[in-house]
Amino acid sequence: MTLLNKPVREAARRSVLCWLATVDADGQPNVSPKEVWAISDDQHVVVANIASPISVRNIAQKPQVCLSFVDVFVQKGFKLVGSAHEVQVENPAFSAWAAPLLAMVGQRFVIRSVLVIRVTSVAPIVAPSYRFYPDKTTEASQVASAIRAYKVHPAPQEKP
């Protein structure tokens, strides 16, 4: 079974940020927003190390991580758990792992290294309204609520 299946990939595509949770050698947690990240294949997520010294240090000490992302309009997403390692620029594998990230950033950021996460479990994240008010809560109602709360307007839909 593919952990990073189509629904996970679609939700990731709609999410602007992800949150990477790591822990240091003393068990102190760290959660850090990551703007440049991508699902690389059926088992791996790659995260650009642009300004992440604490995440990098923690992963070197304890590779267990949790990465989560949520579509803020639909208020659904996924929690991915796995182990990570850093691939530095000098590593011959860097180009392959960094390719989707470099395509995203162009000249905007310098990617210092890539954090490669091998995902071992995936769990859905849903807003409590879906559970407590299942007869009244739909994705459309959540989007409408978010549009009101964030005072934004939806973009025109692309034609297939």
Q: Where are the domains of the chain?
A: 6-150
> How much is the mean pLDDT over the chain?
93
What is the average per-residue pLDDT within 112-118?
98
Q: What is the pTM of this model?
A: 0.89
Q: 115: part of which helix (H) or strand (E)?
A: strand 113-126
pLDDT at 159 over 80: no
| Structural class in CATH, domain 6-150 | mainly beta
List the 44-49 sheet strands across, edge first: 29-34, 18-23, 64-71, 76-88, 113-126, 44-49, 37-39
What is the average per-residue pLDDT within 99-124?
95
Q: Characterise 5 by phi-psi region: left (phi > 0), alpha (psi -120 to 50), beta (else).
A: beta
Q: What percent of the chain has pLDDT over 70?
A: 96
